[in-house]
A and B are shown apart, each in its own frame.
Chain A
Amino acid sequence: MFLAFSQSRKVLGGLAVLALVASACSSSGATPTAAPATPTAAAATTAATAAPSVAVSPSAPAITCGTAPVVLNAYFETGFDIPFKLSDEFTKQYPNVTWKISQDQFTNLTNATPRLLASDNPPDLIRLPTMVSLVKDGLLKNLDTYVTAFGWDKWPAATLLQNRVSADGIRGSGSLYAAGLNYSMTGVFYNKKLAAQIGMTTPPATVADFEALLAKAKTAGLQPIMAWNASASGGGLAFPLQNLMAAYGPTQPINDWIFGVKGATIDTPTNLTAAQHLETWVKSGYFPKDVNAIEYTAANSRFGKGEGVFMFNGDWQNATYDKDQPAGVGFFAFPSATAGGKLAAMSSPLTYGISAKAKNADCAAFFLNWVATNTTARQINVAIGGSNPGGPSDLPIPAGAAGSVTIDTLASGAQVAKDSGGMDFIANATGSIFAQGWTPELQKMIGGKQTAEGLLKAVQAEYLKELSQ
């Protein structure tokens, strides 16, 4: 259920919408359920440093980490700083909580998760690769009590959607089994200098505008789109394809297909239109001619060196882009088919869950809530991850560093959230739909051996085959 390429885990594990419309302090922190004692209110209204003691309230049976020493048993993913930085900060604010952190590569974690959750020393907090089978086996804690206790149900619904699993094992509805540490955003990055060269002053308002820019870039002798499509990284053309799908059709059927809702199909008329546009792009030479041999890292380094006006990717790459071309990269959400139409984007939570047998489940849940609501935690999320920290929509999103592309990705994320345009990634529908379906078929399209129609039919057939195996 995961995205195979290197940066995988951040890449769209799923739905989720970068909630946060950075705006309106609507009815302020005084949400009905949030009695003064709850950490949400405390963190929102007081300065970060003040939070600890306030949380302990005699009246309501508030869910906190208490005052007695607690050791949170956690499993993080190797190579990603965010959870480590957040746990350090958490201990600073709640000194009675210390951490026993184990870490492993994502793929190893994927294989080990069921055993870890079922073991005698189950993790209080664990990075989750997939959920449905774990939920079916009763290994994950149902978080519904925390949803009401912390008022997560007041958060933008799309934030939690992807971590819900229904009784019949379909994601996207039902009880909550995980929470996101932050929410990624995908769309179109552009080289500001080259974009100015082809006369782009504002981000395109429609797909047609965008296609006009591509044509201009081609005529100007520039590489219109930098992309990766080698099997080792997975077919990066799935990014523009899904953007096109959401531009020409609603997002719900796409999510249904990814979540495995019975009878869902990817072979729809609007998706065909989308695939036909992609095919035109391929035939017009908008992608590098060796794209089938370009891997993810190579594509990014070539874009960083100024090859390519546009690049479809996600905000996990922000830091690298800012480093390669300081203040030189911009970002916009993929435009809609018609001007003023709804915006959509693939977006996913950095998912963490709690073992059903966890000894410190309450404290772990309190941490998850703190990550989304504490001012310092939210700043860490934006500064290090470059991603939207989620949480209640009346909390401001911390600003990205001046001149950084993070400013653009956060702003676009807010727009998409307003349009409820969050989608999971079509590469996550089944375990190997990316490796055995999208990637080879998109490569064939590049090689002139597959049509738009054939692409969708072939992937749908592979989807049905994999669901039956």
Chain B
Amino acid sequence: MNYSIQEIWGFLKEVEDPEIPVLNVVEMGIVRDVQLEDNKVIVLITPTYSGCPAMHAIEQDVREMLVEMHVEDFDVKTILSPAWTTDWMTEEARVKLEAYGIAPPQKGSADKNLLMGKLRDVRCPRCKSSQTAMVSQFGSTACKSLYKCEDCKEPFDYFKCI
């Protein structure tokens, strides 16, 4: 089957992130580009973290989606540059993350936040209180930190800036 680049993007938006199923791999910024070389579809993906164990699953899921849609000739390539950043996450994705119970990453470069030493104004995704504290910089997956809410006392994940 021959599809337009736009249609391929549409299929890829159906591929969920295996760790955060409310987001698809396009919203996550993992799919960097879709190219057509003659009739061959090239999908370029980039890892969030170097060691993200979900990358294998994501590549596999992208391949399966393309096979399912009868795209005959395709390749999925991994690129490292430009390096993935949480700044690529869309506003829509941030809203979905918070509704799912994960505080979305703060905007602006990760560098600035790290220089300040501490992150500020991470809002509790449950009760929306800004009285929160970091428990650990490293959380349940490479891309998250562990926080707790001082008001509703619930622990929660924060999608950390990178």
A, B in one complex: no
Binding site for A on B (CB under 8 A): none
Binding site for B on A (CB under 8 A): none
